[in-house]
Structure 1
Amino acid sequence: MKKPLCFTLGSLAFSLGFVGIFLPLLPTTPFMILAAGCFAKSSPRFHQALINNRWIGADLQRWEREGTMSRATKKRATWVILATFSLSIVVLYDRHWLQLMLLALAVVLLFFLWRVPENKPSVNSLSNRD
């Protein structure tokens, strides 16, 4: 029962992540990370296809290995967020409350994006906190 549920959830997450490439309200990266995690437990073939993908594979491998994101990836994601949300805000001309909502959502997304660590904390830095 666990494998089919993980596969279904992985497929749904992948689909939402793919749609998120084109729609600014659906964040692609978290859905792809979720899809990779679900496929790791349910379908080695789909998991390998995701982590070996030429566009997102390296980022997913890094996330699985270290739980980090490169600064270059954060910068690309920031530009995509800014571009897609700006376009959406312009399209919603004269609907100020929707524009404000989109602006607030973009700020929240960027806040959480830039909170993701860029480097795995070393053992020495953890022990020096005392």
Structure 2
Amino acid sequence: MKVIYLFLGLISLLLATLGVILPLLPTVPFLLLSAFFFARSSERLHRWLMEHRVFGPLILDWQQHGAISPRAKKAATVSIAAVFTISLVLQVPAPLLLIQAAALSLVTLFIWSRPNG
């Protein structure tokens, strides 16, 4: 089972790292998944992730306070707006746009309702 958790942790970390570069891919959820999987598979990787200069504070804020930094909130909001804009440009059918707008609005509301990290 540890091997599976390690593999999932590495995949999650890869996706989180890509999320730093790609605006449409979320970073923090994948970091949280990585921390979860590494805690169950590799003490060394878990410690490295938690002590990482960039990633560590994001994870600790969430784990200790359920908090998201204002910078992360802004980045998430921009990504959400970009996703919806792309859907508009691609002329996604109206019923799907309504579903997407509702889901993205709820996600945005959740993000901004969290305390600041």
Distance 1:110 1:39 in 2: 28
**In structure 1, what is the equivalent of residue 46 of structure 2?**
47
**Contact conserved, 1:7 with 1:39, CA < 8 A, in 2?**
yes
| CA offset digits 1:25-62 (Å, max 9, x no partner) | x6432222111121123123333443344543321232
Aligned pairs for 1:54-93 (under 5 A) are 54-82=53-81, 84-93=82-91
Structure 1 residues 102 and 48 mapped into 2: Cα distance closer, same or farther (>3 Å)? same
2:108 to 94, 107, 110: 110
TM-score by length of 1: 0.64
Structure 1 residues 55 and 97 mapped into 2: Cα distance closer, same or farther (>3 Å)? farther
Instruction: Answer with 1 or 2: which has the greater Rg.
Output: 1
TM-score by length of 2: 0.69
Q: Which runs of 5+ in 2 are unaligned?
A: none
Matched residues, percent identical? 33
Matching of residue 95 in structure 1 with residue 93 in structure 2: yes
Query: Which amino acid counterpart does residue 75 of structure 2 have in structure 1?
Result: R
Query: Relative contact order, CA 8 A, sep 6+: which one is greater?
Result: 2
Equivalenced residue count is 116
| CA offset digits 1:60-107 (Å, max 9, x no partner) | 23223433222332223222222x223322332263233223322211
Query: Which amino acid counterpart does residue 69 of structure 1 have in structure 2?
Result: I
Q: CA RMSD in A?
A: 2.9
Q: Which runs of 5+ in 1 are unaligned?
A: 120-130
**Contact conserved, 2:68 with 2:111, CA < 8 A, in 1?**
no
